[in-house]
């Protein structure tokens, strides 16, 4: 059944992409931009001493993630963006695990999340986005210490960029996907973001220095907005959030175009500090990336994130099983096997909280782009 599903999805998406490429050659259709990918993943999770602490079992599973977007140039300055992705009701992951003996709609159709629409207006070195959108917050070496790759913000956001300056500000709202939680009908949560990045260039080296503040208004005393719960953040005896979240972020990133034998490299350190929590409120991430060849790159990260350093429902969903209250390493590598095919691997070794639990996670990916 799994092979059948994968074949159907792959053929359908590839055919759609081919048709789109043909129509885009003709006048009016040049305004349409179609893009997507299908990721197939083999994943294993091994948590030493975990079963005797929580009763949960280690995992060995096959998963997929599907994403597709159709963007339309309404005018030269206004862009309409839409997005379809798997992983409905999960804001930080589009992954869906395959199960035995289930219909195609359970695998695919019922898991789709459709976001319509985001309007982007561009002018000079600036843009304004209104709607539900993939965030444009700058993250050194793609760090997910504060924000997971898949998070979409819903609101109004402004961005500015020139050769030396990057600015992001916005007002957004976190909607609760399924309404009532634990018998409480909580109000939506507002998120205010502001980020400044300065870039300095020295020959073949550039330095990015950045600072940001992310304020979640209305967290303390509220229930978790998603089914995953508080994701490591401190909760009181009734399961409500015990802290507020006003996250100050600072980072430094160095990029070298030719470190050795023509290989570019990046190094970054990122620190997050929750100004509204008194304890367990600091997290940091130290990362390095090397492009070994034009097709092959590798990166390594050490991360330590305390319980209330960041909002656990929005940061990295893979590291240590997602959320906060963990520390450890991960290593990732990606190889461009063909024009539209990437092969990747991701390995995580970490400890959960102050326990004796060792967490090991391995992901092997094949990514088809169209």
Report pLDDT for 341: 94
Confidence (pLDDT) at 337: 92
Tell me which of 100-109, 254-263, 358-367 is least confident: 100-109
Closest CA to 282 of 310, 256, 263, 260: 310
Residue 260 has pLDDT above 70, yes or no: yes
Residue 104's pLDDT is what? 59
Condensed to tens digits (0 to 9), the pLDDT of residues 309-360 reads 999 999 999 999 899 999 999 999 999 999 899 999 999 999 998 777 899 9
112: domain range? Answer: 2-369
257: β partners: none
pLDDT value of position 108: 64
ω before 117 within 30° of 0 (cis)?
yes
Residue 354 pLDDT: 78
pLDDT of residue 18: 47
224 has a pLDDT exceeding 90: no
> How large is the average pLDDT for residues 83-109?
74
Neighbours of 314 (CB within 10 A): 27
CATH of the domain at 284: 2.40.160.10
What pLDDT score was predicted for residue 55?
42
Distance between CA atoms of residues 22 and 42, nearest Å? 34
Q: What is the per-residue pLDDT for 116?
A: 59
| pLDDT tens digits along 138-197 | 999 999 999 998 888 889 999 999 999 999 999 998 876 554 444 454 667 899 999 999
Q: Are 170 and 158 in contact (CB under 8 A)?
A: yes
pLDDT in tens, 293-313: 989 999 999 999 999 999 999
For residue 103, pLDDT beyond 70? no
The mean pLDDT of 128-142, rounded to a whole number, is 90
**Which tens digits make up the pLDDT trace of 32-83?**
889 999 999 999 988 765 443 444 456 788 888 888 888 889 888 888 888 8
Question: For residues 85 and 55, is the Cβ–Cβ distance under 8 A?
Answer: no
Q: How confident is the model at residue 20 (pLDDT cuts 50, 70, 90)?
A: very low
d(CA 134, CA 83): 9
pLDDT value at residue 212: 98
CA distance 111 to 87: 5
What pLDDT score was predicted for residue 97? 84
pLDDT at 263 over 60: yes
pLDDT tens digit string along 242-252? 999 999 999 99
Task: Kindly tell me if the per-residue pLDDT of 19 is higher than 90.
Answer: no
Confidence bin at 6 (pLDDT 50/70/90):
very low
Model confidence at 253: pLDDT above 90 = yes
Q: How many domains does the chain have?
A: 1
Among 233, 197, 225, smallest CA distance to 305 is for: 233
């Amino acid at each position: 059944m799994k092979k059948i599903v994968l074949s159907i999805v792959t053929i359908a998406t590839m055919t759609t992409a081919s048709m789109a490429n043909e129509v885009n050659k003709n006048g009016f259709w040049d305004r349409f931009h179609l893009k997507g990918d299908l990721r197939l993943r083999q994943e294993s999770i091994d948590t030493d001493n975990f079963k005797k602490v929580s009763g949960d079992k280690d995992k060995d599973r096959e998963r997929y993630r599907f994403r597709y977007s159709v963007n339309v140039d309404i005018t030269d300055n206004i862009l309409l963006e839409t997005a379809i992705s798997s992983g409905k009701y999960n804001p930080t992951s589009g992954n869906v695990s395959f199960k035995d003996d289930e219909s195609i709609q359970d695998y695919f159709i019922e898991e789709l999340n459709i976001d319509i629409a985001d309007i982007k207006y561009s002018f000079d070195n600036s843009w304004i986005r209104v709607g539900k959108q993939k965030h444009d917050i700058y993250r050194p070496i793609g760090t997910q210490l504060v924000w997971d790759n898949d998070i979409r913000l819903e609101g109004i956001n402004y961005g500015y960029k020139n050769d030396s300056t990057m600015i992001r500000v916005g007002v957004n709202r976190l909607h609760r996907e399924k309404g009532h939680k634990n018998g409480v009908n909580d109000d939506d949560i507002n998120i205010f973001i502001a980020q400044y990045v300065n870039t300095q260039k020295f020959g073949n080296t550039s330095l990015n220095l950045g600072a940001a503040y992310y304020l979640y208004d209305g967290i303390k005393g509220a229930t978790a907005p998603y089914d995953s719960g508080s994701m490591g953040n401190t909760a009181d005896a009734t399961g409500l959030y015990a802290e507020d979240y006003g996250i100050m972020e600072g980072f430094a990133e160095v990029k070298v175009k030719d470190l050795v034998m023509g290989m570019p490299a990046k190094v970054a350190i990122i620190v997050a500090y929750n100004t509204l929590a008194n304890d367990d409120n600091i997290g940091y991430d130290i990362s390095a990336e090397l492009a070994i060849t034009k097709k092959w790159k590798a990166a390594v990260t050490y991360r330590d994130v305390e319980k209330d350093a960041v909002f656990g429902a929005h940061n990295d969903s893979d590291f240590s099983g997602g959320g906060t209250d963990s520390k450890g390493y991960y290593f990732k590598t990606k190889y461009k096997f063909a024009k539209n095919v990437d092969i990747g691997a991701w390995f995580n070794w970490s400890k959960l909280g102050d326990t004796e639990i060792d967490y090991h996670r391995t992901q092997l990916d094949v990514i088809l782009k169209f």
